[in-house]
Amino acid sequence: WTGGTVTDAENSMAELAALAETAGSEVLEAVFQRRHSPDPATFIGRGKVEAIREIVQATGADTVICDGELAPSQLRNLEDRIKVKVVDRTALILDIFAQHAKSKEGQAQVELAQLQYMKQRLRGWGGNLSRQAGGRAAGGDGIGGRGPGETKIETDRRRINTKIAKLRRELKEMRGTREVKRQSRRRNHIPSVAIAGYTNAGKSSLLNRLTDAGVLVEDSLFATLDPTTRRTTTSDGRIYTMSDTVGFVRHLPHGLVEAFRSTLEEVADSDLLLHVVDGSHPDPEGQIAAVREVLAEINATKVPEIIVINKADAADPIVISRLLAREPHSVVVSAKTGDGIEEALRTIESELPRPQVEFDVLLPYERGDLVNR
């Protein structure tokens, strides 16, 4: 790392390790290096490259993940020297999102972000090649590689551009359909609850738990193309929708923020936010902070928020008490065992905005007028 404190670097690496595990990897070893600036050729210094190569050989690791965004040439150089696959933070996050995207729209959004990431790297590579070639005499390997290399880059770029344009069109269409349904729900005063939270916090498990109890009859107003929006009802029969949203991580790659903008905007537009936290995670406070950072970025900080501390079955009670002390308006649940789900539903019901007509009827009650009559 090149800036920040040792703790910053350690937190960032701990998060990277957790993300790698989320992606299905087993983390064998963490290696730190402090430098003023990344090595232009290999990101880390030569000595560190050698050290990592030895660790890879000793542990039998098949991948090295760098906590940063590598230039394409740095990635290639590292792979050449370490002899295993090298991945950067952005690629890892994109991979996790690809695994987690369940809806058609979500999948298209991730694919768009992946293509944009690839395209940038093609451009970097092309630039490097021509610079190299320009600086070398005929017969250098830059020349040999340049002709076919650039042609291939051109073809690849064209193919990627076509695919990106197609995805953008499809996403626009999906967005249109979703928007029409959303407007229609708005007109009908149907409140919406958005589930947001750190990747892997248990958002979709919670959505299933919370709406299992509710009515799942689909009609045209609710049958969205996105299976992650469900219609449900309160115990007194009020209808509302609940949607799973994209997972958040720290330093969400820009391409992803752009690709997911419309989904993220829906979070900002919802009536209530369930912010799910993994209570069994070593640093749940860090996750809350990371999610709030993204919420601020998408102007969603005004939406009323309920913190839902999930995975209570696997969490350390001390961590939960600490979280409750910091976030008094939270509920503790386990989407796995169902513990706390009733309480969470009651909290949601009490926080949901009530339609104006209901207010008019309920207000005298609350003042005791009707009771006294």
Nearer Cβ to ligand GDP (185/275): 275
- Residue 30 C-beta: closest distance to ligand GDP, Å: 23
**Phi/psi-derived region of residue 299, left when phi > 0, alpha when psi is between -120 and 50, beta in every other case:** left
For residue 228, give the amino acid letter. Answer: T
Q: Does 100 bind ligand GDP (CB under 6 A)?
A: yes
Nearer Cβ to ligand GDP (64/195): 195
239 three-state secondary structure = strand
Nearer Cβ to ligand GDP (59/337): 337
Draw the binding track, 49-68, toward ligand GDP (x: CB under 6 A; -: no contact): --------------------
Nearer Cβ to ligand GDP (197/255): 197
**Phi/psi-derived region of residue 5, left when phi > 0, alpha when psi is between -120 and 50, beta in every other case:** beta
Q: Which of residues 129-168 bind ligand GDP (CB under 6 A)?
A: none
For residue 342, give the amino acid letter. Answer: E
Q: Does 25 bind ligand GDP (CB under 6 A)?
A: no
83 three-state secondary structure = coil
Nearer Cβ to ligand GDP (39/339): 339
Nearer Cβ to ligand GDP (156/313): 313
d(CA 262, CA 304): 20
Among 205, 233, 234, 262, binds ligand GDP (CB under 6 A): 205
Q: Strand pairing of 239-244 and 85-88?
A: unpaired
Give the tokens for residue 24: 């299905």
Between the alpha carbon of residue 239 and those of residues 220, 311, 326, the distances in Å are 14, 27, 32
Q: Which of residues 175-204 bind ligand GDP (CB under 6 A)?
A: 197, 199-204
Q: Which residues contact 255 (CB under 8 A, 6 or more apart)?
A: 90, 94, 112, 113, 114, 116, 117
The DSSP output letter for 312 is G
The DSSP output letter for 329 is T
Nearer Cβ to ligand GDP (190/315): 315
Draw the binding track, 236-265, toward ligand GDP (x: CB under 6 A; -: no contact): -----------x------------------
- Residue 299 C-beta: closest distance to ligand GDP, Å: 22
Q: How many residues bind ligand GDP (CB under 6 A)?
A: 17
Contact 224/297 with Cβ under 8 angstroms? Answer: no
Q: Which of residues 296-355 bind ligand GDP (CB under 6 A)?
A: 310-311, 313-314, 334-336
- Residue 313 C-beta: closest distance to ligand GDP, Å: 5
Q: Which residues contact 41 (CB under 8 A, 6 or more apart)?
A: 73, 74, 77
- Residue 206 C-beta: closest distance to ligand GDP, Å: 7
Binding site for ligand GDP (CB under 6 A): 100, 197, 199-205, 247, 310-311, 313-314, 334-336
